Amino acid sequence: MPKSLPAASIIKLGRFTWTTMWQVMMSQMAPRSKTGAYVRPESVFRGTIDADHPAAAGRYRLFVGMGCPWAHRTLIVRALKGLEAAIDISIVVPSADDGRWLLTEPYLNCQNMPELYQTASPGFKGRSTVPILFDETTKTIINNESAEIIEILNAEFNEFATHGDLDLYPAAGKAEIDRWNAQIYPSVNNGVYRCGFAQTQAAYDEAVNELFGMLDTIDDHLANQSFLWGEQITLADVRLFTTLIRFDSAYHGLFKCSRRRIRDYANLSQYVQRIYQLPGVADTCDFQAIQQDYYGNLFPLNPGGIVPTPVDMSWLA
């Protein structure tokens, strides 16, 4: 999740208007293109399981934020594969004061993610994001790109998994899965952020039209099948689900994705319900953390910091 602006930065800016101050804060929180469109920075650590970092039970740890959709992907794959006993997790929460992820329990004498990144990679100057897959033996960050971490979890720890025979990225479906990922990431996964962090009307209009155009396409596609690739859940569904499960409670209001709710779609709503009811998935969904993290920590989008009444998500069950 993007970091919030430090509270100390909310100061009077003399001749600057509120609009100008908002633009300054948004530029710090969300990098933009010349047209005012949100540009997501690339992840830096892109390693995998290899001879230097072999697969083993109890050697690796996931650092995740419960409100973060990118981290949520890794928790779902961990649950579906049955890797809870093999891979531990550490939970982080966002700080509204200084925009950092804070560890709920200290780890390697670190209190927050910037400190952990410095411990693992001294001199690191990038964004200290989650999720990360961490090697506890070498004290290094293996990967901090969620799309790659879920592929690693799916393929590299099967001998330690309760459901090692479950393949969420089967060879027969890779081309189709990759095609869906390539379409869904810019328009939906990142599309909701492009709506919420747009700094011009043109950038917002483009993003919101792409978002709902793709949601309409997916809803039509799901009219005759359970998942994106037929009747089997895959990594493409995991990647889509973590955005959709946050849509009605966060993106619909806060990010101005207000044309429709997911609950308003006949097929998409059943699709989200279907995945939510898979064993272990509901336990990874923390709706209180989702609303608190988004509404409580993105000052430029919600200056009052008021967290709305929780959206009724009981229909999922």
Distance of alpha carbon 32 from alpha carbon 5, whole angstroms: 16
The one catalytic residue in 38, 117, 193, 295 is: 193
Coil/strand/helix, residue 149: helix
Residue with tokens 């973060």: 68
What is the side-by-side order of every strand in the sheet holding 110-112? 110-112, 101-107, 88-94, 60-65, 132-135, 140-143
Phi, psi for residue 179 in degrees, rounded to 5? -65, -45
User: Which helix (H) or strand (E) covers residue 178, if one does?
Assistant: helix 174-184
Token pair, residue 136, equals: 């506890």
- Residue 235 · residue 81 · CB < 8 Å: no
193 flagged as catalytic? yes
Distance of alpha carbon 175 from alpha carbon 240, whole angstroms: 17
The one catalytic residue in 38, 68, 107, 204 is: 68
Q: At what angle do helices 174-184 and 235-246 cross, to 10 degrees?
A: 30
Would you say how long the chain is, in residues? 317
Chain centre distance of CA 200: 24
Could you give the residue numbers annotated as active site? Answer: 68, 193
